[in-house]
Amino acid sequence: MGYRFKLIGYPIKHSLSPWIHEQFLKKSKLKGIYSIFEISPEKSLEESVQHLKREETDGFNVTVPYKQAIIPFLDEIDDTARNMGAVNTVVKKNNRWIGYNTDGMGYLRSLENKYPEFVQNKNIRILLIGAGGAARAIYFALNHSGFTAIDIANRTPGSAREISELASNSCKSNILSLGEAEKCIDQYDLIIQTTSVGMKPHVNEAILSLDRLTSDTIVSDIVYQPLQTKFLQQAQNRGAMLHYGHTMLLYQAQYAFEIWTDRQLSINDLDVKLKAVLEGR
Ligand code: ATR
């Protein structure tokens, strides 16, 4: 029969997850299907989830707007998802539905894969820009893996402060305004842009100027539509090292697939394939 995976969310007709997981199924030579299960906001989430559970689903991904709302319908959630207050992957194990959050680990794996030597040094100075769900997941993963200096810049300082409260005692975090971050951008080794600023169709926008950036910095943007955001373009102009957003998408899916099937796949070749899919859109 094979595995049956799904994606729930709204709207999800253009999601890349079915394409990614089909590649994983092919690579692993496991039988299965990954389909979308769109739940429009006027429907009852509870009834939709009950329907999903009856359909013998082995696991499902959860995206906007249900990452928090799904939690009451699960039997268990792992520590990371609990800290995030958000679930993006659910697996059925011994008839129990267990929620995980693979976003932070996905980012970390993508970074380790691209810059393996760089991430060995846990004392690098990191600037996280934004304080939404993605920033929270990335902050937690970086902190958990031992990085000790992660500052957060956001338009609303209160949300950044809330995230910094997730930090263990060994991590030091300053909260900055976007203007302050711009002025001291040369102090960071790794800069991670997590807001939606610069996403299609607003491709001419960038959250801040990188005029003071030095070339020994890695600059990440988790936006992947377009692949080359204005923010990354500025970084490239300054001679910095780039880290593209679509790789986080691939690695968070890799970890979800691992939770469902116990298989960790090598997915380096999919980077180029996914780029081609995105460029064709
Ligand atoms: P996600 O869950 O995908 O991370 P989110 O929770 O909506 O998305 O978070 C959006 C982030 O982008 C926030 O940090 C938000 O800043 P505020 O906390 O001040 O709202 C930031 N953001 C979105 N649009 C922005 C804009 N035009 N200028 C500055 N920051 C913006």
Residue owning tokens 């991904």: 61
pLDDT at position 178: 98
Cβ–ligand 1 distance for 159 under 6 Å, the answer yes
Cβ–ligand 1 distance for 32 under 6 Å, the answer no
* Domain 3-101 class in CATH: alpha beta
Cβ–ligand 1 distance for 222 under 6 Å, the answer no
Residue nearest to atom 6 of ligand 1 (CA): 132
Of the candidates 241, 243, 202, which has an alpha carbon nearest to the alpha carbon of residue 222? Answer: 243
How far is Cα 150 from Cα 172, in angstroms, rounded to an integer? 6
Q: Active-site residue among 31, 53, 67, 183? A: 67
Contact 111, 259 (CB under 8 A): no
pLDDT at position 57: 94
pLDDT at position 169: 78
pLDDT at position 119: 92
Cβ–ligand 1 distance for 156 under 6 Å, the answer yes
pLDDT at position 170: 82
The domain limits of the chain are 3-101, 105-245
Residue owning tokens 């909260």: 175
SS (H, E, C) 190-205: EEEECCCCCCCCCCCC
With the most atoms of ligand 1 within 8 angstroms of its CB, the residue from 195, 207, 208, 229 to mutate is 195
Helices 133-144 and 103-114 pack at an angle, to 10 degrees, of 60
Of the candidates 233, 181, 10, 52, which has an alpha carbon nearest to the alpha carbon of residue 173? Answer: 181
pLDDT at position 21: 98
Active site residue 275: no
**Angle (CA) 257 260 265, round 5°:** 35
pLDDT in 10s for each residue of the chain, 281 residues: 799 999 999 999 999 999 999 999 999 999 999 999 999 999 999 999 999 999 989 999 999 999 999 999 999 999 999 999 999 999 999 999 999 999 999 999 999 999 999 999 999 999 999 999 999 999 999 999 999 999 999 999 999 999 999 887 788 899 999 999 999 999 999 999 999 999 999 999 999 999 999 999 999 999 999 999 999 999 999 999 999 999 999 999 999 999 999 999 999 999 999 999 999 88
pLDDT at position 281: 82
How far is Cα 6 from Cα 37, in angstroms, rounded to an integer? 6
Cβ–ligand 1 distance for 155 under 6 Å, the answer yes
Q: Do domains 3-101 and 105-245 have the same CATH topology?
A: yes
Cβ–ligand 1 distance for 154 under 6 Å, the answer yes
Contact 235, 224 (CB under 8 A): no
On the CB side of 196, CA atoms within 13 Å amount to 5
pLDDT at position 137: 97
With the most atoms of ligand 1 within 8 angstroms of its CB, the residue from 68, 155, 156 to mutate is 155
Structure tokens at 211: 């005029």
Residue 219 has phi, psi (to 5 degrees) of -120, 125
How far is Cα 47 from Cα 256, in angstroms, rounded to an integer? 24
Q: Which CATH architecture has domain 105-245?
A: 3-Layer(aba) Sandwich (3.40)
Atom of ligand 1 nearest to the CA of 133: 2
On the CB side of 124, CA atoms within 13 Å amount to 22
